[in-house]
């Protein structure tokens, strides 16, 4: 009995998400086709110029914008940021430090602090039970 491995493919939206780029900003040939696992790996290891440019300058999808600003995706929405932003726009927001951004960064810092506290607590419990 021989096993036949089929080529694993994904939609362009999935590939764009894995690459951390905004789908609508990718070239038409990327958006209109399917991406194999091998093609995705090749794009990750040796990105073409269009991909390097998108990662550097944007527009960036919301998860990337949130990460670059140090807030959650929900925090972006609460701050009124619903569209993809370029690196230049993100840097401008960092410089301006609007009130919503300061508040969301503080909230995110509290969330991280609480997550670390819970992780430490759980590790201590596991150590005691072992």
Residue 57 has which token pair? 């300058």
**Mean pLDDT in residue range 70-97:** 92
The pLDDT > 90 percentage for the chain reads 71
Exposed e or buried b per residue across 84-109, where buried means at least 16 C-beta atoms within 10 angstroms of its C-beta: bbebebbeebeeeeeebbeebeeebe
> pLDDT per residue over 22-65, tens digit each?
999 999 988 888 888 988 999 999 999 999 999 999 899 999 99
Q: What is the pLDDT of residue 91?
A: 95
**Mean pLDDT in residue range 89-111:** 93
Q: Which helix (H) or strand (E) holds 36?
A: strand 35-36
Q: What is the pLDDT of residue 1?
A: 47
Q: What is the pLDDT of residue 78?
A: 92
Report whether 54 contacts 22 (CB < 8 A): yes
pLDDT, mean over the chain? 89
Q: Which helix (H) or strand (E) holds 86?
A: none
């Amino acid at each position: 009995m021989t096993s036949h491995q089929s080529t694993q493919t994904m939609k362009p939206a999935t590939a764009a998400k894995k690459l951390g780029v905004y789908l609508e900003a990718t070239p038409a040939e990327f958006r209109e086709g399917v991406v194999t696992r091998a093609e995705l790996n090749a794009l990750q290891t040796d990105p073409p110029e269009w991909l390097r440019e998108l990662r550097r300058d944007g527009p960036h999808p919301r998860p990337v914008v949130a990460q670059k600003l140090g807030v959650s995706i929900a925090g972006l929405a609460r701050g009124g940021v619903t569209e993809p932003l370029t690196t230049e726009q993100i840097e401008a927001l960092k410089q301006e430090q609007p009130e919503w951004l300061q508040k969301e960064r503080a909230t995110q810092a509290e969330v991280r602090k609480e997550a670390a506290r819970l992780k430490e607590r759980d590790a201590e419990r596991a150590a005691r039970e072992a």
